[in-house]
Amino acid sequence: MTRTVSSTADQYQTGIHVRSLCKTFGEQPVLNELSFSVCAGKSLSVIGKSGCGKSTLLSILAQLQEYQSGVVEFVTPQGKSFIEEYGRMPRLSYVLQEYGLFPWKNARENLMLPLQIAKMDKERIQEHVALMLQELDLSGLEKRYPCELSGGQKQRLALGRALISKPEIILLDEPLSSVDAINRENLQNLILSLWKKYQFTFVLVTHSVGEAVYLGGNILSLSKFSSEDVSQYTLYDNPYFAEENIRDKKEYFELCKIIHHSLQE
């Protein structure tokens, strides 16, 4: 029997509109006139070299950092403002680099922390945790501490902790950077299947071109800001996103190649 945590009454879909976003650290501009949008229930992968502002962009979307100018808006599928329509911010989850799990909490405690902070009552927390453990194939490991889990297990746990609060948007900051190649592919598949099931909108920051193309409905290729550049970024549409066996298709490699070249310039 499989029950899902999703489709509660107050879960909606939301897209993200970003217009003319500028961010500077002191005198140093990091993001300049950045505009893009992610449709509700779609995904965007952000790729670029170190220091081009990928992670900064993500923490701005997560409302963890201020920005100097521009607009960041959340929109319903009908194009209305999410906040005006539903009277609240969309629920956001953030998966940090290197998992961001707390070493002093075991798997179960890490998983339930977002719900505890949100003051959900205990019985419902237990219910959610049990489902999420099952969903992410972590049953039996709930008493283990992060130091006793493998890289892949930690990553699944981190994903579970992001998913458990039923987010409308998930932000992933190089989530698979510390996982080995084989696990990496499995986890990419897992992210995709979770996306199909829970229908959240997600933004993924990555270093790997293959991952960007595999997991991004749109791909944003960022380069480091310099004053000579006319544009700091290029947006690609990925028509093959979420198709079956995309990794074996010629078009996938073509797109990878194009993006790879864009990063070389």
Partner 1 sequence: MENLKQLCKYLLTLFVIGVFWHIGALCFGEYILPKPLNVLFFSFDYLRTKEFWGHFFISSYRVCTALAISFLAAFPLGIYMGYKKRFDSFFSPFLFLTYPVPKIVLLPLFFLILGIGDFSRIFLIVLTVSYQIIVVTRASVLNLDKKYFESFQSLLPLHVKGTPKQHFRMAKLVHLLIPSALPSALTALRIASGTAIAVLFMAESFATREGLGFLIMDSWGRGDMLPMFIGILSLCFLGVFLYEFCNLMERLFCKGNQPNAK
Q: Are 39 and 190 in contact (CB under 8 A)?
A: no
Point out which span in 34-42, 94-102, 224-232, 251-259 binds partner 1 (CB under 8 A). 94-102
Tokens in use for 66?
């201020």
Is 81 one of the binding residues for partner 1 (CB under 8 A)?
A: no
Concatenated DSSP letters for 164-205?
Answer: TT--SEEEEESTTTTS-HHHHHHHHHHHHHHHHHH--EEEEE
User: Residue count at the site for partner 1 (CB under 8 A)?
Assistant: 32
In whole angstroms, the minimum distance from the beta carbon of 1 to partner 1 comes to 30
Say which DSSP state 166 is in.
Answer: -
Using the structure block, give the residue that is written with the tokens 């864009």.
262
Among 91, 108, 156, 184, binds partner 1 (CB under 8 A): 91
Q: What residue type is assigned to position 98 of the chain?
A: E
Spatial CB neighbours of 80, under 8 Å, sequence gap ≥ 6: none
Among 101, 157, 203, 259, binds partner 1 (CB under 8 A): 101
Q: Smaller CB distance to partner 1: residue 98 or 254?
A: 98
Rounded Cα gap, residues 261 and 202, in angstroms: 25
Residues 19-78 within binding reach of partner 1 (CB under 8 A): 62-64
Among 147, 181, 182, 230, binds partner 1 (CB under 8 A): 147
Spatial CB neighbours of 178, under 8 Å, sequence gap ≥ 6: 97, 98, 99, 151
Helix (H, G, I), strand (E, B) or coil at 46: strand
In whole angstroms, the minimum distance from the beta carbon of 112 to partner 1 comes to 11
Is 98 one of the binding residues for partner 1 (CB under 8 A)?
A: yes
In whole angstroms, the minimum distance from the beta carbon of 18 to partner 1 comes to 18
Among 2, 66, 78, 103, binds partner 1 (CB under 8 A): 103
Output the CA–CA distances (angstroms, integers) from residue 100 to 12, 156, 175, 252, in the order listed.
26, 12, 10, 31
Rounded Cα gap, residues 156 and 11, in angstroms: 23
Among 5, 113, 256, 263, binds partner 1 (CB under 8 A): 113
Point out which span in 18-26, 84-92, 204-212, 240-248 binds partner 1 (CB under 8 A). 84-92
Which secondary-structure segment (H or E) carries 159? Answer: helix 151-163
Is 146 one of the binding residues for partner 1 (CB under 8 A)?
A: yes
Point out which span in 103-111, 211-219, 230-238, 251-259 binds partner 1 (CB under 8 A). 103-111
Point out which span in 90-98, 127-135, 216-224, 237-245 binds partner 1 (CB under 8 A). 90-98
Tokens in use for 225?
């800001």
CA dihedral 147, 151, 157, 163 (to 10 degrees): 150
Among 70, 100, 183, 223, binds partner 1 (CB under 8 A): 100
Q: Which residues bind partner 1 (CB under 8 A)?
A: 62-64, 87-94, 96-98, 100-106, 113-114, 116-119, 145-147, 161, 165
